Structure 1
């Protein structure tokens, strides 16, 4: 399975009066995310499934991916991708889905979670070393095993500036 971890685009600044879950993409964030999505499309990247965090900025990023025809299906929300989500709970959920090995799955979420998830999948532990920039992508191949933890292969770590 190919897993693409995609961080949401540039969002509104944190403010006391603005709850984190409703912060949306800025105009610059939408534009940059569209440019990244278009470049991915040009490279032939497509997703069978796009799962997004329930937070607005991630949902907006996932919609841009879908609108740029990167997604073959509709977008689904996953609470596991919220900032307090657990990779272990998500892996249990993934196992239940029984997706075919050739599935290309995009997860749209947040940093540091996505960086930590990639580290756990590749190295078997969180090292707090992988940084995923806004609208950046990590590509990981999950092996055909019951537990991909520490057995997955990192094949892509790209900040948006290298796609634009």
Structure 2
């Protein structure tokens, strides 16, 4: 199974009058995310499911990916919120679905979670070495059996500037 960890696009700055959960993509963030999505489509990517953090900026990013035709299915997943846990996500969301080895799953979330998750999947620990830029993507191949932690292979790490 291939797992694509995608960071949300450029969002509104933090402001006391706006809750973090309500921060939207900026106009520039929407435009760049659409360009990245179109480029991914041109490259032939197709996701079986796009799972998104419930925060507005991530959900907007997931909908852009969906609207471009990268997947016909978008689902909200609370484990992808900034306070989410990879252990909870694997146990509550990934394992019960019993995906086939050919599944391509995209998750849209936040930093530093996504980079930390990728490191934990690949190395079995967080080393703080990966950084995922806004609208960037990390791809990891999950093993067909057994635990995913420390047993995945990273095959993609791309900042958006290489897709624009």
Structure 1 length normalisation: TM-score? 0.98
Matched, 1:13 2:4: no
Distance in 2 of aligned mates of 1:146 and 1:84: 26
Runs of 4+ in structure 1 off by over 3 angstroms are: none
Counterpart of 2:98 in structure 1 is: 98
Distance in 1 of aligned mates of 2:73 and 2:2: 18
Distance in 1 of aligned mates of 2:82 and 2:128: 15
CA RMSD of superposed structures (Å): 0.6
1:103-142 alignment runs, 5 A limit = 103-142=103-142
Counterpart of 1:43 in structure 2 is: 43
Q: Which runs of 5+ in 2 are unaligned?
A: none
Q: Which runs of 5+ in 1 are unaligned?
A: none
SS class of match (1:155): strand
Matched, 1:82 2:75: no
Distance in 1 of aligned mates of 2:73 and 2:3: 17
How many Å apart are 1:17 and its aligned residue? 1.2
Distance in 1 of aligned mates of 2:108 and 2:73: 13
Distance in 2 of aligned mates of 1:107 and 1:97: 15
Q: How many matched pairs?
A: 163
How many Å apart are 1:146 and its aligned residue? 2.3
Counterpart of 1:163 in structure 2 is: 163
